[in-house]
Amino acid sequence: MNFNMSKREKQLILLTIGLLLFVAYWILLMGPVFLKINNGNMEIKKLQMEVEQLKPPVSSAYILSKRGLQILPYEEQVSKIVDFLNSSFNKAGVSLSLLHQESDGNRLVFSLQFKTTDQKFLNVVNYFAKIDTILIISKVKAEQENDELVVDMELVSGYLN
């Protein structure tokens, strides 16, 4: 056998052996790593699907019922909110100079105007957290007049048709 090869042939054989060793390394050592990663990703997807199935339906009605909130028909909602506002302001020692209610689509808009001190105003706002219906403070304008605040406030609530 004659093993006289040119320098180029020797380099090609060495390169081929190097590539074969690299492919063998890749298959034998890295293959199981990629298989574990793939299996882990499949397990994560499986667990995510199980979690999605276990989640309760997240609808607005579900959230409202969990928080104990109610949305009532128009007349009942207006009555409930007006009674709540009157009692809250009375408890806080604040008298309303204006209480105006109007409906806009399926929303109730209450415009309030009153004079109060800083602390009484905070008490009124804290009472809003105690109502068992959705009542959003959508706008507040407060101006200092001597030692009192003159407050214009707008509240929004929904109602059932």
- Summarised one tens digit per residue, pLDDT across range 73-114 is 767 878 888 888 888 889 889 988 998 888 877 788 889 999
Residue 5, sorted as left (phi over 0), alpha (psi -120 to 50) or beta, turns out to be beta
Compare 110 and 129 and report the one with higher pLDDT.
110
Compare 107 and 29 and report the one with higher pLDDT.
29
pTM across the whole model: 0.53
Give Cβ neighbours of residue 70 (< 8 Å, ≥ 6 apart): 64, 132, 133
Q: What is the mean pLDDT of the chain?
A: 82
Environment class of residue 69 by beta-carbon count within 10 Å: exposed (0-12), middle (13-18) or buried (19+)? middle
Question: What's the total number of domains in the chain?
Answer: 2
- Summarised one tens digit per residue, pLDDT across range 51-76 is 877 665 545 444 445 555 566 676 78
The token duo for 76 is 């009942």
One domain, residues 70 and 149: yes
pLDDT of 160 strictly over 90:
no
CA pair distance 110, 153, nearest whole angstrom: 8
CATH label of the domain that carries residue 82: 3.30.70.60
Side-chain-side CA neighbours of 114 within 13 Å: the count stands at 24
Q: Is residue 19 part of a domain?
A: yes
Q: Is residue 60 part of a domain?
A: no
